[in-house]
Amino acid sequence: MKDFIMTMPITQELVEKKYHLYHSLINNALGKCFDRESPVMLYAPARYILEGKGKRIRPFLTLLASEAVCGSSEEALNVALAVEILHNFTLIHDDIMDQAELRHGRLTVHKKWNINAAILSGDMMIAYAYELALKAKSNRHPELIHILNDANITICEGQALDMELEEKKETTITDYLDMIAKKTGRLISAALEAGGVAGNATEDQLSALVLFGEKIGRAFQIQDDYLDIMADNGKSGKIVGGDVINGKKTYLLLRSLELTSGAEHDLLNSIIINKGIGAERVPEVKAIYKRCGVLEETAALINRNTEEALTALETLPYAEGREYLQGYANILIKRDF
């Protein structure tokens, strides 16, 4: 896939250095949350999920968004923590619904404790996130709570749509893009929007941050679909073609169904009908993707969304924060793992 490369004074090395600095800051602050010892089955699961190997992408974006609109992230830390805690609440409940046993090589919360403890701890985390947002030094608390509420509702809508898509025999690209926008994209745009509010952004600046989040969120998710079948063995830590093996409806599969006919179309359709395919047939599917042109089309879509995301930031007032956001977006989208 063609890399989208920017020319700017903030180098990738500087972006990575800032990321590691803020990653430590966020993790240290998260480590001070949920410090009550009792009830153990309420607070211990919340601490446990936050101790996992999270990349902290969303809170990092919150801090950078604040820097891009006011030149400082000082007042945005509690908001960033609220966003990350809300994200981890969704992970606990998603793992229950998916009946997942492991997350990043550790037992999921409902397996380490039980389903009731996981649900209750997750519910508590929502309220805790709102309390953190209300601690931000801002006169715009209603906006912050609205953003978190809207993100929470939208994520639930996305999860429900995902469940519905699993059962539908006929799924369109529009259905899929709507689902990922709600399930994955909204919390990314909400993280940026909340950071903007913490930095006292104007309405136009918030619109720019939200558009950036929507576009980069779509690019990021579609790239996950792309890398599932195109990543080198072992780089992703997952089985290459896992989405195909598990019958997951991805952008590549749905679009290739529109581009193929005959035996190729029938093979791709059987992945949906049978809810998966044998691992030995993944190379056949990859060959179809190459022949029908969906790989090139998907790479172009990722790059187009990335360019539109980066362009959206150009009106933000503080160059350093803006360029760190642009630089981090490039790092996310230039993944080859």
Specify the pTM.
Answer: 0.92
Q: What is the pLDDT of residues 266-289, one digit of tens each?
A: 999 999 999 999 999 999 999 999
Contacts of 74 (CB under 8 A, 6+ apart): none
273 SS3 class? helix
Please report, in tens digits, the pLDDT of each residue of the chain (337 residues total): 334 334 446 899 999 999 999 999 999 999 999 999 999 999 999 999 999 989 999 999 999 999 999 999 999 999 999 999 999 999 999 999 999 999 988 999 999 999 999 999 999 999 999 999 999 999 999 999 999 999 999 999 999 999 999 888 789 999 999 999 999 999 999 999 999 999 999 999 999 999 999 999 999 999 999 999 987 654 555 678 999 999 999 999 999 999 999 999 999 999 999 999 999 999 999 999 999 999 999 999 999 999 999 999 999 999 999 999 999 999 888 754 3
Q: What is the pLDDT of residues 129-178, one digit of tens each?
A: 999 999 999 999 999 999 999 999 999 999 999 999 988 878 999 999 99
Task: Give the residue extent of every domain in the chain.
Answer: 12-333
DSSP string, 196-257: HHHTT--HHHHHHHHHHHHHHHHHHHHHHHHHHHHSPTTTSSS-TTHHHHTT---HHHHHHH
Asked whether the beta carbons of 184 and 221 are under 8 A apart, the reply is yes
H/E stretch holding 302: helix 294-312
Tokens of 92: 């606990």
pLDDT for position 235: 52
pLDDT for position 4: 39
Q: Domain 12-333, what architecture?
A: Orthogonal Bundle (1.10)
